[in-house]
Structure 1
Amino acid sequence: MKFVQRQRAALADLLEELGPFAPTKCEGWQTQDLAAHLYVRERRLDALPGIASEFFSGHTERIQNLELHRQGYLPLVQAFREPGWIMRPVDDLVNASEIFIHHEDVLRANGRAQTLTAKEQQHLWPLVKVLARRAQLRHGGRLLLTRTDTGAEHPFGQGNRTVHLTGLPSELLLHLSRREADVEITGERASVEAWRAAITPL
């Protein structure tokens, strides 16, 4: 079973177990809101603009609420167990990070945790580098990523005011999606503050 499939199944099991009113790390969302989000991003093409842009977020929120009230929480969770038609062709490429991050959003909000294997950490590393590059371009300075499990390093950008970002790939990915994460950030104060401001949520 692929990483994205394992994360999808585990998240669906967790959502089913906790029910619709459990907390998540997504600000303002309970598990029912997250379930509706996961459903519409894979099955409602008209909801996608509001996921990508704050300008259309109200429209997407209305669609999520409509599906939640029309179908109910558990049917949305059951539907999520299989990738929807929008994301199915790119499930492994696009959903690996999205579903892992939302799985952590629910786990951590409810005092739970998962342990990834070395192979799973390696699977996340390319995704980390993609998000790091996006943030580094916004930041404009030099970034040095370091993995704490293997010691591997990856530099981005140029300049002599380097921001050092260190952690497991899983924690780096959470940090790069603007979640609380077990990472170490070092560098000049202004550079670190600019780095934090450059990160956009997923």
Structure 2
Amino acid sequence: MTSFAKAERARLCDLALEAGPDAPTLCGDWTVRELVAHLVLREHSPLSAGIVVPPLAGITERATTRKAERKDFEDLVERVRRPLSPMALPGVDAALNTAEFFVHHEDIRRAGPGWSPRDLTGSEQDALWRVLRVSGKGLVRPAGVPVVARRTDTGAKTALRSGGDPVVVSGLPAELVLFVYGRGEVRDVTFEGPADRVEQLRTAKLGI
């Protein structure tokens, strides 16, 4: 059975070709071409270290720009679709790429007008909930407030940052993942808790 990470990789590639290289994304000023170049660099080059090591961010940004400028767009998409990288191995792929390809797929989808959330399967929502329970702990840290995430489809909860009087942020796992990754284009996400803490969470610079 195809993993969710692998399925999202294919869907992202299909959408990138459909949208075209110059279409906008939710990744700041990046176009689809630059987003795809980022994905190639992430899987194939040590110059991608700036994604998680802030002092190297400038090097990574310049490498991404060079990759986007020098490679044919269709070739870039094909390298994402059929990577020759240990990161695409089963198990490793699910651990490292589920959020990456889901979030960036939505970065393309939700950058244009008229988008609506996809109707994901229960197993796909479960995969994203597992991502949230692990990665969400670090991603909400910049808010500096206790945070509990709650699934609106099952009622399950997970503490992303411990402490009394937490902010409870509720939604489907897909929308919660997008929220903790710093995306503003989310639907049906609600917040409960002390007003000042809710404001801190909603205005914090979340994500990587």
TM-score (norm 2): 0.87
- Alignment partner, residue 34 of structure 2: 33
> 1:83 touches 1:91 (CA, 8 Å); kept in 2?
no
Give the C-alpha shift of residue 160 in structure 1: 3.2
- Alignment partner, residue 19 of structure 1: 20
Q: Residue 74 of structure 2: SS of its match in structure 1?
A: helix
Instruction: Tell me whether 123-132 or 10-19 shows the greater mean CA deviation.
Output: 123-132
> 1:141 touches 1:161 (CA, 8 Å); kept in 2?
no
The one-character-per-residue Cα deviations of 1:29-73 (angstroms, maximum 9, x if unpaired) are 11111011011000111x222211332222112211222232221
Query: 2:126 matched to 1:125?
Result: no
For the residues of structure 1 that align with 2:160 and 2:108, how far apart are their CA atoms?
31
For the residues of structure 2 that align with 1:156 and 1:65, how far apart are their CA atoms?
34
For the residues of structure 1 that align with 2:76 and 2:57, how far apart are their CA atoms?
20
199 and 135 in structure 1: CA distance in 2 versus 1, 3 angstrom threshold: farther
Give the % identical residues: 36
Query: 2:202 matched to 1:200?
Result: no
Give the C-alpha shift of residue 199 in structure 1: 5.1
Regions of 4+ moved over 3 Å:
135-142, 155-160, 196-199
> 2:145 touches 2:200 (CA, 8 Å); kept in 1?
no
> 1:43 touches 1:86 (CA, 8 Å); kept in 2?
no
The one-character-per-residue Cα deviations of 1:50-107 (angstroms, maximum 9, x if unpaired) are 2113322221122112222322211000110023425234211011001100000000
AA matched with 1:107: R
Which runs of 5 or more structure 2 residues have no equivalent in the other structure? none
TM-score (norm 1): 0.90
Q: Which one has a larger percent helix, Structure 1 or Structure 2?
A: 1
Which runs of 5 or more structure 1 residues have no equivalent in the other structure? none
For the residues of structure 2 that align with 1:190 and 1:84, how far apart are their CA atoms?
47
